[in-house]
Amino acid sequence: MNSSPLFLPLTLPNGSVLPNRLAKAAMEENMADAGQLPGAALHDLYRVWAQGGAGLIITGNVMIDGRALTGPGGVVLEAGTPLERFTEWAAAARSGGAQVWMQINHPGRQVQISMGGTAWAPSSVALDLGKHSKLFVQPEAMSEAQVAETVERFAATAQAAELAGFTGVQIHAAHGYLLSQFLSPLTNRRTDAWGGSLENRARFLLDVVRAVRARVAHGFAVAVKLNSADFQRGGFSEDDAKQVIRWLNDEAVDLVELSGGSYESPAMQGRTADGRTLAREAYFLEFARELAAVARMPVMTTGGIVRRTVAERVLGEGVAVVGMATALAVAPDLPARWRAGDDASAQSPRVDWKDQVMAALARMALVKRRLRTLRPGRTGAPVHSPFLTLVLDQLRTKRLTKRYRRWLGARAA
């Protein structure tokens, strides 16, 4: 038996158990079938991860509102959505014995203008991506009724995930999406009960957590993904994150995953907008160490981890679960190989272009192309051109956008 602490089980606050301390963290797959439903491609991908040896598998973000997607190939799960495809997805992902949590999300203002639909936000503050800003919508400040509707949507999606056979949900409050936007003073300029003080800015997240917890069984895990910081001057800070975790300590939260950044400051890809330098591997470990010290629930950190020695060091710093995303796209069986004593690593694709936004898009396109090629029995890692992959991804996105807009129009008819 492997004596590494990575392969010790972890009992969560709700009494359920992760078989080991390695997690497949969420990646945006954009692989939905028609109707924004999971299909054979996603089922096959998750069968690969199920056999890869991770103790926890977290899905790519599932949208709680079909009118607001991070990308046109996103999966949507709302009250009333047929669950058969989701049941098959959960069964495929659980086939190796891991816990499987659905990440649930609303993009807020981070919606491309080509998508149409709804871009709700705490305040009408548009994304600032320089010359690329025009690709995103001007958001609409939410009314109190829209806030209440969105809280209910998170709860309904969590309930549906449990009915479909998932063992938990992860509420996405990081990376500049809607809940993260409420937390940041840069994007939340409200003067009502949802803005101003950190207590007010955190109210939406805490209401979502309580609504979700009230709708699901005790043994069903409820987790939160939180930025350790936004890495933008004047944004959500490490001290803010520490206080939010203290508030989450008083809720029935089973795990907090710490990440960082947003579309404007993609720290989750190793780059920041405020000039701070992140480690080349385990980007957020310094922050996670400090935040884990105040957390009463287990803490997970994700960001650039590709080597077993680094993963073990993360656990040694007081973090309970090691999350890996891109590494498990490149080498989906990495946990199993580590358990067998193999010191294999998995290097992320590199794109060193001058235009950092385009370079980030190319890296994401390479990862998504890789995900689409993974099938049981077919896990080799071919090398692709970043430029050609980005072009193909843009063409695929246009095709999926047309399909999504037809679906959106049919819903509204």
Across the chain, which distance is largest between two alpha carbons, in Å? 59
How much is the pTM? 0.93
Q: Which domain holds residue 233?
A: 5-348
363 belongs to a structural domain: no
How many angstroms separate the CA atoms of 413 and 408, rounded?
9
Q: How many domains does the chain have?
A: 1
- Cβ partners under 8 Å of residue 39, min gap 6: 31, 32, 33, 85
Looking at residue 90, which CATH number applies to its domain? 3.20.20.70
Type of residue numbered 51: Q
Question: Is 375 within a domain?
Answer: no
Output the pLDDT for position 229: 60
Residue with tokens 């996670």: 288
Residue 396 belongs to some domain of the structure = no
What single string gives the DSSP state of each residue in 335-388?
A: HHHHHTT-----PPP----SSHHHHHHHHHHHHHHHHHH-BTTB-------HHH
Please name the amino acid found at residue 411: R
Tell me what pLDDT residue 269 has: 46
pLDDT per position as a tens digit, 53-66: 999 999 999 999 99
Q: Which residues contact 229 (CB under 8 A, 6 or more apart)?
A: 235, 236, 237, 238, 240, 241, 260, 267, 287
Q: What is the pLDDT of residue 245?
A: 95
Amino acid at 24: K
The residues of the chain scoring below 50 in pLDDT are: 265-279
**328/323 Cα distance (integer angstroms):** 10
Q: What local confidence, expressed as pLDDT, does residue 357 receive?
A: 77
DSSP 37: B
**Is 290 within the bounds of a domain?**
yes
- The verdict on residue 291 lying in a domain is yes
Q: Which amino acid is at 137?
A: V
Q: Report if residue 255 sits inside a domain.
A: yes
Neighbours of 349 (CB within 10 A): 20
| CA nearest to 174, candidates 104, 116, 118, 114 | 104
Coil, helix or strand at residue 23: strand
